[in-house]
A and B are shown apart, each in its own frame.
Chain A
Amino acid sequence: MSKVSIIFLVLSIVLLALGFYGGSVQVPETAEAAQPSALAMHFSQYENLYLILGGLILFIVLYFTIHKNVGLRTQHVMSTTIRYVILIGVGVFMVYPLLWMVSATFKNNNEIFSTLSLIPKQPTLEGYRLAMTNYGGDINIWSAMLNTYKYVIPKVVFTVISSTITAYGFGRFRFRGRNVLFALLMATLFLPQVVLNIPQFLMYRKFGWVDSPLYLAMIVPTLFAQETYFVYMLIQFMRNIPRELDEAAKIDGCNIMQTLVLVLVPMLWPAMVSAGLFQFMWSSNDFMGPLLYVNSPARYPATLFVRMSMDADTGFAWNRVMAVSLISIAPSLVVFFLAQSQFMDGVTAGAVKG
């Protein structure tokens, strides 16, 4: 054993000993009885912390010591096991909250916070039944969901079309001022939306777009390819499509738009689908947009409705709040699981190259 591992071994033993000592301290019930010293109180209070830390260090020291002194094959098995343990441990941390949310929608309110179990003891649909009922205004979860997709779907369609055309212009053409404009485009990637929010709000209010039944304030900018990330992503993708294809199309007599639609779009399609999927997710989850531009409860989208139901129900009907929340993200979850690989490809397309 090396010096370092001996030091850590000693440390872990000390920590464990302190933890056990803390466990053995008797804290008297009444205030009159002789109190243990402040130090003893400290160990008694943090007993678990010392035990966990000590155990962890002991485990790591033993692991490395054994790892060094065994054959290659055993080493391999040990490393693989540790990797799986970490992956599963982190996986639990990632997934448990979501599973808990699903199970909470089937529990009654007494059970929700009293157990950690994911399986409800007395399964009930009360949460969902309450989620369907009105809060008394002219909005319920279904009309809120409908409202959401009234702007999400146009946003997705317009973003994909306008971003593709813009990416085509920047990716395939040289013109006076192209480099300056491209630099501006890239700069907007780093421009925080917060700086623009208030003047945009004042401008849209002047245009009469705030609280419009058509959600104009959220939809119209997407007609102008204003979500730079998607333009950038499509330009990156377009770079990998050989220019010879465009030229061949030109020789065959295609005009510029025909080249785009007949030659490039079929090649770009996976990237366009990714862009559409991301826009779908981001717009369905968007909170700031509706918060600023939707005022009448009848036009509330799901995000605002969830917030409203949280404010109305916190403290008592958590199963209802959880059911409302789950319904609001269910379409996004379904879309994600159906189109996982497009999401992964989309994330990497924008960044890895360039």
Chain B
Amino acid sequence: MTNGSSVTRADLRKKRRFSRLEQGYMGFFLILPWLIGFCIFKLYPFISSLVYSFTDYDLFKGAQNFVGLENYISAFTKSKNVKALQVTFAYAFMTVPLKLIFALFIAYILNFKIRGVGLFRTAYYVPSILGGSVAIAVLWKALFKNDGVINTILAMLGFESINFLADKNWALFIICLLRVWQFGSAMVLFLAALKGVPEDLYEAASIDGATKSRQFLSITIPLISPVIFYNLVTQLVQAFQEFNGPYIITNGGPRNATTLISLIVYNSAFKDYKVGMSSAMAWVMFVITTVFTIIAFASQKKWVYYSDDDGRG
């Protein structure tokens, strides 16, 4: 009985596979432009930057000699590069959690029945739509420069003015603040996810005597964990790549306090013309980003909860 039915099922599966293959070539034809583009604009540059990273390729002379691991050794020994690694880690570990916590907190408040949700949501979202632009970086400079707006406020409150952008302890924090200020897109995602949590779960929990914070930890967090995960990964990848803010506002200074890896990659290729060194730094960054992405994906099983009926193919 069981044997017979499994044979028929296998036959059916075979048949279905054939009918899929019929339209198969069409599908391949449709994605062919992407595949060609992928090979030219992604795969080839990806591999060649790995190759360059083992050479002393010069932007203008072009000559390349194999130099082995020299570029990588300098990436981890030259004080400027080591400093950039530290600064990049500090940047990522300061901005990502702050941004996510802030976004979740505000989304949580907005999810109560609040009048004017639309207005607040828009107000919070505008910075993240414009945040990456040069204009906003210029604005940030005007806010935090020595005689800028923030120092005017501090003076009114009776504090002494702080030269934010020239102080090596403050400068990185100000650059981080620009990114945290753009928490809007993460917040919109959290808000949509919170709206998707069924109310009756909260009702059942409060009948059982669960407090608000208990409900938040045991119902809300698990149910929106896929979105937390998505935000975590995308924010992490973006944070490691940040370029515009530090490049425009502080240009890596004071004393390399805001020189992220991306600035080193840019400067060594286009100021020092050392393509090899630049590629090595880019690859160091790529490996770091990948390791964190893999850690995030591997930890997914432990804390991300996917319901079965969300129609994922």
Contacts and interface: CB of A to CB of B under 8 A. Distances in A.
Interface of A: 45, 47-48, 80, 83-84, 86-87, 90-91, 93-95, 97-98, 100-101, 104, 112-116, 162, 165-166, 168-170, 172-178, 181, 184-185, 188, 190-203, 221, 223-226, 231, 239-240, 256, 281-282, 284-285, 287-288, 292, 303-304, 306-307, 310, 314, 318, 321-322, 325-326, 328-329, 332-333, 336, 340, 343-344, 347-348, 351-354
A100 B109 contact: no
B104 to A, nearest CB: 13
20 contacts: A48-B157, A87-B106, A87-B109, A91-B120, A93-B181, A94-B124, A101-B142, A165-B30, A169-B30, A191-B42, A198-B45, A199-B46, A288-B244, A303-B133, A304-B134, A307-B138, A318-B142, A332-B130, A333-B130, A352-B227
Nearest to A173: B27
A170 B27 CA distance: 7
B152 A114 contact: yes
Contacts of B125: 340, 343-344
B46 A191 contact: yes
A226 B134 contact: no
Contacts of A172: 27
B27 A322 contact: no
Nearest to A335: B129
Contact of A192 (B192, B289, B313): B289
A200 B41 contact: yes
Contacts of A347: 185, 188-189
Given A87-B120, A97-B143, A175-B27, A310 B138 contact: yes
Nearest to B37: A224
Nearest to B121: A344
The 10 closest A-B pairs by CB, nearest first: A224-B37, A173-B27, A169-B30, A199-B45, A175-B24, A325-B135, A169-B31, A285-B133, A174-B20, A175-B27
B49 A198 contact: yes
A196 B49 contact: yes
Contacts of B285: 192, 194-195
A352 B142 CA distance: 37
Contact of B192 (A177, A285, A352): A352
Given A166-B34, A194-B285, A199 B52 contact: yes
Contacts of B23: 173-175, 256
Contacts of B37: 221, 223-226
B310 interface: yes
Contacts of A178: 27-28
B259 to A, nearest CB: 14
A264 to B, nearest CB: 12
Interface residues of B, number: 102
Contacts of A318: 142
A332 B262 CA distance: 26
A192 B239 CA distance: 10
B4 interface: no
Contact of B31 (A104, A166, A194): A166
A89 B69 CA distance: 52
B54 interface: no
Contact of A336 (B35, B126, B293, B313): B126
A322 B158 contact: no
A225 B237 CA distance: 21
A340 B156 CA distance: 37
Nearest to B297: A190
A345 B147 CA distance: 41
Contacts of A343: 125, 129
B218 interface: no
The winner among B38, B124, B133, B240 for most chain A CB atoms within 10 A is: B133
Contacts of B192: 348, 352
Interface in B82-131: 106, 109-110, 112, 114, 120-127, 129-130
B30 A168 contact: yes
Given A310-B141, A328-B133, A195 B185 contact: no
B84 to A, nearest CB: 12
Contacts of A307: 134, 138, 248
Contacts of A181: 31, 35
A266 to B, nearest CB: 19
A84 B133 CA distance: 30
A83 B227 contact: no
B283 A195 contact: yes
Nearest to B243: A288
A200 B283 CA distance: 15
B215 to A, nearest CB: 15
B66 interface: no
Contact of B265 (A175, A194, A340, A348): A194
A77 to B, nearest CB: 13
Nearest to B231: A351
The winner among B28, B138, B149 for most chain A CB atoms within 10 A is: B138
Nearest to B114: A83
A175 B290 CA distance: 29
Contacts of B26: 173, 175, 256
B295 interface: no
Contacts of A353: 310-312
A191 B285 CA distance: 11
Given A48-B157, A190-B289, A200 B189 contact: no
Contact of A188 (B24, B38, B52, B196): B38
